[in-house]
């Protein structure tokens, strides 16, 4: 039996967090290749540390995207995030590029041929989730954790000099009868200038917490922890090394749903770690928006080089209004879930990935140029009509 009354917590990290700097750089490389050739193959990892960025991975794409172009992309991203500190500066940092051609063995399994369609880039399981507890069909704790940090980033980019790029948030909500009703604690740690006092930091941050949580969710009983360790002047990759793919729960549902384990950033859309996770979110969101369930988890599984999914599983968590087994069959009809089918349906072979690397891949607004296409609700009418 699922619980109705409980506390649940999720965290987020900003674009200036060391791991997110790495994710943003890796996805900028993906965009660089896809802009030059939509059929490029990219798997690039990034390491960030004190005044150094290291790129490594495998690619297949136009020769114009060389080491110099990748280095320039890394510097542009770091500058855009806002790092101009002694220990991490976009202009002064060393950038090492160790990127080579994609393995011929992997290419053989993935590429289409006369007798086979394009196969999955690897084996694995992918999960998508949606819930009607927020307008974005996202779990409330991770949704509001992102919103607080996005709000702080907006004012920083708008000219606020007291805060630095590196920050983290954590929101704990109380659920009653399965519905979030109040915040019991909020934690925000943010980098700041040496001249800014902790009282100033708390005043700035508290305003953004109050602005982004629903009215009435904060009370005298809500525990606030703003920079609980005190000084946070040294931050970003100078304070801690960062790696691509270490924030997969921040990227998805904040722990409110399962995760298959594969990271997204740095991978082109032939990699089902990314594209199939987007597809399952797309399907789950449309299922909930169609009123077929209040909560929906969808799992897909794949084998390397095989074009069709090995399994599809739907779980309504006791909130469904239709038979999940019937829906499983229908989902195969409303969307081609082969790697090629997903890419074409969601139009993923375009440079739309750098923007996904911070503040979550899900719960975002679809962009006019095709970004966040997996957040569209264009299957709702068809799903409704089938039931």
Model pLDDT for residues 149-171, shown as the tens digit of each residue: 999 999 999 999 999 999 999 99
Interior/surface letters 277-298, b for 16+ CB within 10 angstroms, e for the rest: bbbbbbbbbbbbbbebbbbbbb
Of the candidates 357, 352, 374, the residue with the CA atom closest to the CA atom of residue 365:
374
Give the pLDDT confidence score for residue 290 in this predicted structure: 98
pTM reported for the whole predicted model: 0.95
Active site residue 203: no
Output DSSP code: residue 68. Answer: H
Active site residue 45: yes
Give the pLDDT confidence score for residue 118 in this predicted structure: 78
Among 11, 19, 315, 375, the active-site one is 19
Among 240, 308, 328, 364, the active-site one is 240
Among 75, 156, 168, 281, the active-site one is 168
Active site residue 174: no
Give the pLDDT confidence score for residue 110 in this predicted structure: 63
Give the pLDDT confidence score for residue 105 in this predicted structure: 61
How many other β-carbons are positioned within 10 Å of the β-carbon of residue 317? 15
Alpha-carbon dihedral sign for residues 280, 283, 289, 290: negative
Residues making up the binding site: 17, 19, 45, 58, 102, 166-168, 240, 246-247, 263, 267, 271
How does pLDDT run across 280-335, given as a tens digit for each residue?
999 999 999 999 999 999 999 999 889 899 999 999 999 999 999 999 999 999 99
Lowest-confidence range among 120-124, 271-275, 337-341, 353-357? 120-124
The separation between CA 133 and the C-alpha centre of its own chain, rounded to angstroms, equals 19
Domain ranges of the chain: 6-13+141-236, 124-132+269-386
Which uninterrupted H or E stretch holds 52? strand 52-60
Three-state SS string over 256-278 comes to CCCCCCCCCCCECCCCHHHHHHH
Give the pLDDT confidence score for residue 196 in this predicted structure: 97
Give the pLDDT confidence score for residue 102 in this predicted structure: 80
Active site residue 79: no
Same CATH topology for 6-13+141-236 and 124-132+269-386: the answer is yes
Residues making up the binding site for K(+): 45
Active site residue 208: no
Indicate the SS3 state at residue 35: helix
Say if residue 116's pLDDT is above 60: no
Among 11, 118, 273, 375, the active-site one is 273
Of the candidates 380, 340, 348, 325, the residue with the CA atom closest to the CA atom of residue 117:
340
Q: Give me the numbers of helices (H) and strands (E) for the chain, helices first please.
A: 11, 13
Active site residue 17: yes
Of the candidates 223, 147, 213, 134, the residue with the CA atom closest to the CA atom of residue 179:
134
How does pLDDT run across 187-228, given as a tens digit for each residue?
999 999 999 999 999 999 999 999 999 999 999 999 999 999
Among 45, 133, 315, 375, the active-site one is 45
Taking residues 343-351, what's their average pLDDT? Answer: 97
Residues making up the binding site for Mg(2+): 19
High-pLDDT (> 70) share of the chain, %: 96
Active site residue 264: no
Active site residue 133: no
CATH number attached to the domain at 124-132+269-386: 3.30.300.10
Say if residue 1's pLDDT is above 60: no
Give the pLDDT confidence score for residue 104 in this predicted structure: 60
Give the pLDDT confidence score for residue 120 in this predicted structure: 83
Taking residues 178-192, what's their average pLDDT? Answer: 97
Give the pLDDT confidence score for residue 111 in this predicted structure: 62
Among 246, 274, 295, 345, the active-site one is 246
Active site residue 368: no
Lowest-confidence range among 66-80, 106-120, 324-338? 106-120
Active site residue 240: yes
How does pLDDT run across 35-55, given as a tens digit for each residue?
999 999 999 999 999 999 999
Among 232, 264, 316, 372, the active-site one is 232
Active site residue 20: yes
Q: Please, what is the average pLDDT of the chain? A: 95
Among 58, 111, 117, 328, the active-site one is 58
Residues making up the binding site for L-methionine: 58, 102, 240, 271
Active site residue 58: yes
Q: Which CATH architecture has domain 6-13+141-236?
A: 2-Layer Sandwich (3.30)
């Amino acid at each position: 039996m699922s619980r109705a009354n409980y506390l649940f917590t999720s965290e987020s990290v900003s674009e200036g967090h060391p791991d997110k700097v790495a994710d943003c750089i890796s996805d900028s490389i993906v965009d660089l290749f896809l802009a030059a050739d939509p059929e490029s193959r990219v798997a690039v990892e990034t390491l960030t540390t004190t005044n150094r960025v290291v790129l490594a991975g495998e690619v297949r794409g136009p020769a114009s995207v060389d080491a110099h172009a990748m280095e320039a992309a890394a510097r542009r991203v770091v500058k855009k995030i806002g790092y101009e500190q002694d220990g991490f500066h976009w202009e002064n940092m060393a950038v090492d590029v160790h990127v080579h051609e994609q393995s011929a063995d992997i290419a053989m399994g993935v590429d289409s041929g006369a007798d086979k369609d394009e196969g999955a880039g690897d084996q694995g399981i992918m999960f998508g989730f949606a819930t009607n507890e927020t307008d974005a069909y996202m779990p409330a704790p991770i949704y509001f954790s992102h919103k607080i940090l996005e709000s702080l980033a907006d004012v920083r980019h708008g000219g606020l000099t007291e805060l630095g790029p590196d920050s983290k948030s954590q929101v704990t909500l109380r659920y009653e009868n399965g519905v979030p009703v109040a915040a019991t604690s909020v934690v925000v740690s943010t980098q700041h200038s040496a001249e800014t006092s902790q009282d100033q930091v708390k005043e700035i941050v508290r305003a953004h917490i109050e602005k982004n949580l629903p009215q009435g969710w904060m009370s005298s009983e809500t525990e606030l922890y703003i920079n609980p360790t005190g000084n946070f002047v040294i931050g970003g990759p100078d304070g801690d090394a960062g790696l691509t793919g270490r924030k997969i729960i921040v990227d998805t549902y904040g722990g409110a749903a399962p995760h298959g384990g594969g990271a997204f950033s740095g991978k082109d859309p032939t990699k089902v770690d990314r594209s199939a996770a987007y597809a399952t979110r797309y399907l789950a969101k449309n299922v909930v928006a169609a009123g077929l369930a209040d909560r929906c988890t969808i799992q897909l599984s794949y084998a390397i080089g095989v074009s069709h999914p090995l399994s599809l599983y739907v779980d309504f968590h006791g909130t469904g209004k239709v038979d999940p087994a019937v829906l499983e069959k229908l989902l195969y009809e409303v969307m081609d879930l082969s790697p090629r089918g997903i890419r074409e349906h969601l139009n993923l072979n375009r440079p739309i990935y750098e923007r996904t690397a911070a503040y979550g891949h899900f719960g975002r607004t679809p962009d006019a140029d095709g970004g966040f296409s997996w957040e569209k609700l264009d299957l709702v009418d068809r799903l409704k009509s089938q039931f």
